[in-house]
Structure 1
């Protein structure tokens, strides 16, 4: 059994957390966050996956910070894995990135805007890594069925599905909590992306805005609705973040929020 298979099995048997800064701003900041998360994982006996992107290819402005790039970004992620013991997840945007990113990342993430891209889904599936498909803001829960089938066609059934809100007019998202039981029907763990769900896409004109104050209520509602994992972009200094600062959750407030989420996860559930 390889690391990705073990990770996927663990994700099927209990709650888990995906967290990290939106983009790899520096190795020092990434390690600061990852070490904080690793301590939480040890203390809570919780599966925690470190998430950060080597490239954010869908930024609002040409001048926006995108990250260190594929080569350096993967070097940083490999070091984070080695030093903290956390599994890592990162986005890929092009099929050619799948194989090389899959040599480091335990999970390959398909960005929401690319959830229907056949070649990207197939390339991710062929790596044998866990594939996290983020549901596009523009698709219904049942529209992910073909995306799941594309990955499965490669012989890889290690798939996560992530709800991150749906477009609701201009520069706004809304979460339909019926999505969780609908996505669960496909037989894979369902994740809630609490921080992107409070994003206001393009809300600043040159960049996205966000309403991080609503992260706790949406995350707690999603756990109550049955999600298996929660995705949170966290940053020690959100106001200084180079990407998605307005919707990132402050790192020092993560333990308190996680306590609330774990208390809900531990409540008895109907079969």
Structure 2
């Protein structure tokens, strides 16, 4: 594990041979939602020896419809995110969408996430890098794993070598995605940890209804294959009741199903060692 990841997990007790987990609700809906989710996931990860990063977006900028929920207010949401990190002594991450958001978000979060659609946005990557925080770049749906070397280089040239790359599938027609697991070892060749986003890779975007669809019943399939392919980390958006979630409910994992899935993934990881 890279030293910059180890420093994030220094307050956690975990198996150093395990994968790490990035998980949480898609968007910050309320303080209560964050605390309920974090409390349960922290307990599961402690039991299974999995290092854990809490994730939730303070604002959703990329929405299909103008009427879609975008957030409760930037500062309030970020304060809730920071409270989760302080309460449970875990690192947190959230995504940013423009270069002028980087410094603000870095005040509250330990990792800045770059959305897939923006992975080529040079000023955004450079701004995130200059905060000194770990930068997690999601691979664009339209980009190959080898081509992500350019995103890594931009961050390095801005003076920051703390990078994670996350795969979230590739566009397959207009309304579906497909995962090419070759991208895991290909992106690891760039010398950075590689994560598989097991929920966004199951999205069915661009629906005529204006609401993104999904295939959450396949989350376990995507996750198991990613661990078998050697992924360093797993990304799972989870919610106590995805049916009422205000964003990406169609492809989030129900929170009460998370422990069983992670238990299976730990077994696969151990079998490969």
Alignment TM-score > 0.5, same fold: yes
Unaligned stretches of 5+ residues in structure 1: none
Q: Secondary structure at the match of 1:207?
A: coil
Q: TM-score, normalised by structure 2?
A: 0.94
Distance 1:33-1:152 versus aligned 2 partners, 3 A rule: same
Asked whether 1:64 is paired with 2:68, we answer yes
> C-alpha offsets along residues 142-201 of structure 1, whole Å, 9 cap, x if unaligned?
221111000001221110000000001110000011111111100000000000011101
Asked whether 1:195 is paired with 2:193, we answer no
> C-alpha offsets along residues 194-221 of structure 1, whole Å, 9 cap, x if unaligned?
0001110123531100010011011100
Distance 1:203-1:11 versus aligned 2 partners, 3 A rule: farther
Asked whether 1:267 is paired with 2:271, we answer yes
Of 155, 162, 172, which residue of structure 1 is paired with 2:159?
155
Q: 1: distance between equivalents of 2:16 and 2:242?
A: 31
> Does the 8 A contact of 2:18 with 2:49 survive in 1?
no
2:8 maps to which residue?
7
Q: 2: distance between equivalents of 1:5 and 1:232?
A: 20
Unaligned stretches of 5+ residues in structure 2: none
Q: 1: distance between equivalents of 2:155 and 2:223?
A: 27
Distance 1:13-1:103 versus aligned 2 partners, 3 A rule: farther
Alignment of 1:1-271 (within 5 A): 6-7=7-8, 14-203=18-207, 205-269=209-273
Q: 1: distance between equivalents of 2:149 and 2:197?
A: 19
Q: Secondary structure at the match of 2:164?
A: strand
Aligned residues: 268
Q: TM-score, normalised by structure 1?
A: 0.94
